[in-house]
Amino acid sequence: MRLISLKKKIILIDSHVDFLKNIAKEVAGRDTRYDILATDNISDALEALEDELPLVIMISFERDFEPGHLNAFFKKLKSSKKFSKIPLIFKSSDEKLKDQLDAVNGLSYSRVDPQTSTQGFIEKMEFYIYKNSNHGGVFKIFNQGQDIFKQGDSLEEIYVLYSGEVMAYQEKEGDVFQMGLVKSPEIVGEVGIFQEGLTRTYSAKCMTTCEVMVVKKNKFQEYMTAQPLWVEMFISQLVQRLRKAESIAKNK
């Protein structure tokens, strides 16, 4: 059951046709460069692996596949280094996933609850696609309590917050002023990035473990070209801040 043929491969394996159609339609609407194989047949997915490496594979454990087919699929993924690095998303309860732990050992995967919304699944897929894209950025993990950047640092990088929470704060004359909490997905520290010689006006501390894409200023255009979701978010953030600045100016 093929639903859409575009360009960059994503494989979705599930018996719920409406769910597959919604995911395929939404993802295609976001970025027409994606080629989505939506199927309820493991054999289709195995065949697709021979043609092109997918960016991500989503598999539902909430249905029964033909005996041995799922194990054969995981065995194929483990058969080479290039296959074993494909990120997997399992639509599954904790109990169902436990039944497959031996089969998926050594593969890169995460679990998403079967009741997760269409938008939630898409955000999870985008996270893995962008994390593994290597377009202009370096993926880093910051620990709770660690500063991503400090007030006074040069403006040479943009930080894309994929997971976690960050507190923006300023220090002045020994006092610390909290400016607000930033939650993923969000772009942190972009103000003034296109101007030369500026420094950061605030610090950003991780309130949880944070997964962050660090993008150099001279790689920003390359990164944004490859990541259409963040272009929309970046523009939206700039518009919000311009409106806030206008509001403050009018009330003075």
- Cα of 250 vs its chain's centroid, Å: 38
Radius of gyration of the chain (CA): 21
Using pLDDT thresholds of 50, 70 and 90, give the confidence band for residue 1.
Answer: very low
Q: For 58-93, write each residue's pLDDT tens digit.
A: 888 876 677 678 888 898 899 888 888 888 888 888
Using pLDDT thresholds of 50, 70 and 90, give the confidence band for residue 244.
Answer: low
- In this predicted structure, what is the pLDDT of residue 33? 65
Query: Per DSSP, what are the bridge partners of residue 57?
Result: 11, 88
**For tokens 């006074």, what's the residue?**
152
The model carries a pTM of 0.58
- In this predicted structure, what is the pLDDT of residue 118? 79
| CATH (residue range 8-131) | 3.40.50.2300
Kindly state the percentage of the chain with pLDDT values over 90.
Answer: 8
6 versus 247: which is more confidently predicted? 247
- Angle between the 228-250 and 118-131 helix axes, to the nearest 10 degrees? 110
Between CA 211 and CA 126, with CA 86 as vertex, the angle to 5 degrees is 45
Q: For 120-176, write each residue's pLDDT tens digit.
A: 787 777 777 766 655 567 788 899 999 999 998 888 888 888 788 999 999 888 888
CA pair distance 109, 99, nearest whole angstrom: 15
Query: Per DSSP, what are the bridge partners of residue 246?
Result: none
- Decide which of 3.40.50.300, 2.60.34.10, 3.20.20.10, 2.60.120.10 is the CATH code for 137-250: 2.60.120.10
**CA-to-CA separations, 57 to 29, 108, 201, 219, 244, in angstroms, rounded:** 19, 11, 41, 28, 41
CA pair distance 179, 212, nearest whole angstrom: 20
- In this predicted structure, what is the pLDDT of residue 40? 83
**For tokens 């003075």, what's the residue?**
252
> How do the domains of the chain map onto residue ranges?
8-131, 137-250
Of the listed ranges 38-47, 145-154, 192-201, the one predicted with least confidence: 192-201
